[in-house]
Amino acid sequence: RKPIQQLIFNNSQQRRIIPVFWAQHDDFAYIGRPYQPFQKLASRFKSLNIADFGIIHWTTRPLDIYFKNTMEQLWSNTADQALIKTAGRYCNAVFGAQSKNFYNYINEWLKEAPIFGRETTNYFITKTLKTAQEVIKQSAFRYTLLQSIDATRLTPKVSNVVSYYKHYEKFIQSYHLANMRFDSSVTLLRNNQVEKAKQIMSGNLAKESILHFSQAIKYNGPDKGEMGLLVSLNTRWYPYILAQQQLLGLAPVSYIFNQTVHESLAQEGGSFTFAFDKHGLLSKVLGEQETGLTYFEGNGVSGLKSDSLFTFNIKTISGKPISSGTGYIEVNFSIDQTGSASIADSIPVVFEITNSGKIISRKTYSPRSKDGIQKLVLPVSFQNKSDPKTDLLIHPGAYKILLNGISFQPDK
């Protein structure tokens, strides 16, 4: 026996040992195909005096055959059964006359499909996908294998299995293509090829990719784990792609001022809060911890309160300065007139946009007694080479200003 196996054996003589397998992993193996199951498990368990096991997983699909093979290896009549034999038995039982076609697919899936993504950081992906082009090519081939299956000859539930994998393959292809384009645009922008970077990042490929995943899990599902992955893609991957489009002036930037929750005891707790409106617009939410302002709620409005100069750096939701483009800044706010000086005697609220300290846009607002939420618009131009820092300055004068949101809308 190897040292680790000897250690397990020695301990198993004195106490119950339960090994726990990872079907996937939370770092770089978070989504996609499962790991390959351990081989000859029955023989290994017998030699180590082990009778039990557990599996860590957060979804049941597409891990089905991993579970089935691991269990069948430990049954007496299928002891140590190879993964590919389990796959064959599954195809015969489920697909009947078309079992060979699906077997050809699932065999390729178990060997070649990617396993990717992270769970323990703010971002779903934290490195360049160097094999993305090959992954897309392999996925396209597997998709042709699925197309060879005649869904009209299958029961609705089995037909749903095929539809699930079809959309999953489209998700894999579009996910890797979106990341390839992201990496290319970063390189182009670094070389000052802004227009080419814009061309590559135009469109809604990230949204389309997430849509394929959401369509896949609807077939014979979804389960809670799949719903969790859908949320994770929307809040830890989509913002990553969107921020690059914002950097290039291709997409609006939206911030909402509201309450945020931070789990101080969480291991690797997330740093960001996002919200989607009914049209699918993603906004980054900033609260007391992110701004130093005080949360306010009352009289039908909520937001953050400021009674002194408030400076807001206009940047993407990832914190990078917008490199190019023109458009306008929109500020949504209201005035808390409680305890303020009389309206007649008060100086107006002043809004200014500055590039490196130089005022490029300025507007004033004089409150009236029955004003509700207001929208103020200021033009802006981003030229990152000469003006690396663009700020919105709000001078509330004698008032307390309640900030609801700030956004940048690029010109079309």
Q: Whose CA is closest to 407, among 288, 256, 287?
A: 256
| Residue-wise pLDDT tens digits, 143-169 | 999 999 999 999 999 999 999 999 999
Alpha helix locations (H) across 113-155? 132-147
CA 46 – CA 68 distance, rounded (Å): 19
Place of tokens 């006359």: 97
C-alpha dihedral (136, 140, 146, 148), degrees to nearest 10: -170
Q: Which domains does the chain have, with CATH numbers?
A: 3-247 (no CATH), 253-410 (2.60.120)
Place of tokens 């160097």: 130
Quickly list H helices, 191-332: 194-201, 205-218, 224-232, 238-247, 288-291
Provide the residue type at 281 as one letter.
Answer: L
**Of the candidate ranges 59-68, 340-349, 352-361, the one whose mean pLDDT is the lowest:** 340-349
At residue 343, does pLDDT exceed 70? no
Check if the beta carbon of residue 329 is closer than 8 Å to that of residue 378.
yes
User: H or E stretch including 88?
Assistant: helix 83-95
Q: Given this model, what pLDDT does residue 325 score?
A: 85
**Mean pLDDT value of segment 172-190:** 97
Q: What is the pTM of this model?
A: 0.93
> Given this model, what pLDDT does residue 171 score?
99
> Residue range 352-375: average pLDDT?
88
Distance (Å, whole) CA 71 – CA 68? 5
pLDDT score at 174: 98
CA atoms of 360 and 362, how far apart (whole Å): 7
Q: What is the largest CA-CA distance in the chain?
A: 91
The pLDDT of 391-396, averaged and rounded, is 96
Mean pLDDT value across the chain: 94
Q: What is the pLDDT of residue 387?
A: 52
Which residue has tokens 């940048």? Answer: 408
Q: What is the predicted pLDDT for the residue at 328?
A: 97
CA–CA separation, 9 and 27 (whole Å): 29
Place of tokens 């390189």: 187
* pLDDT for 386 beyond 60: no
Per the CB < 8 A criterion, the answer to whether 107 and 87 are in contact is: yes
**Confidence at residue 337, expressed as pLDDT on a 0 to 100 scale:** 65
Say if residues 305 and 294 touch (Cβ distance below 8 Å): yes
What the block records as the tokens of 291 is 């701004």
- Which pLDDT score is estimated for 397? 87
Runs of H (alpha helix) within 277-400? 288-291
Give me the pLDDT at residue 138, please. Answer: 98
Q: With a cut of 70, say whether residue 363 has pLDDT above it.
A: yes
Q: What's at 188, amino acid-wise?
A: L
Q: What is the pairing mode between strands 54-56 and 20-22?
A: parallel
pLDDT in tens, 3-59: 999 999 999 999 999 999 999 999 899 999 999 999 999 999 999 999 999 999 999
The mean pLDDT of 353-358, rounded to a whole number, is 90
Instruction: Please name the residue that has the structure tokens 């004068």.
Output: 397
Instruction: Quickly state the pLDDT bin for 339 (edges 50, 70, 90).
Output: low
Alpha-carbon dihedral angle through residues 145, 150, 153, 154, given to the nearest 10 degrees: 40
Averaged pLDDT, 322-346: 78
Lowest mean pLDDT across 85-99, 244-258, 280-294, 319-333? 319-333
Q: How many Å apart are CA 111 and CA 78, to the nearest integer?
A: 22
Q: Rounded distance, CA 178 to CA 96, Å?
A: 37
Q: Per-residue pLDDT for 127 more than 60?
A: yes
360-366, Cβ contacts within 8 angstroms, sequence gap of 24 or more: 361/329
Structure tokens at 232: 């994770």
**Among the listed ranges 2-11, 18-27, 125-134, 360-369, which one has the minimum average pLDDT value?**
360-369
% of the chain at pLDDT higher than 70? 96
Q: Do residues 102 and 91 make contact, with C-beta atoms less than 8 angstroms apart?
A: yes
Mean pLDDT of 198-225: 97
Region for 302 from its dihedrals, namely left if φ exceeds 0, alpha if ψ lies in -120 to 50, beta otherwise = beta
The CA-based dihedral angle spanning residues 260, 211, 63, 119, taken in that order and rounded to the nearest 10 degrees: -30
> What confidence tier does 344 reach under pLDDT thresholds 50, 70, 90?
low
- The identity of residue 106, as a single letter, is I
Burial 109-133 (b: 16+ CB within 10 A, else e): bbeebbebbbbeebebbeeebeebe
Sign of CA dihedral 79, 85, 86, 92: negative
Average pLDDT over residues 275-286: 97
| Residue entry with tokens 């590559």 | 200
CB 311 within 8 A of CB 319: no
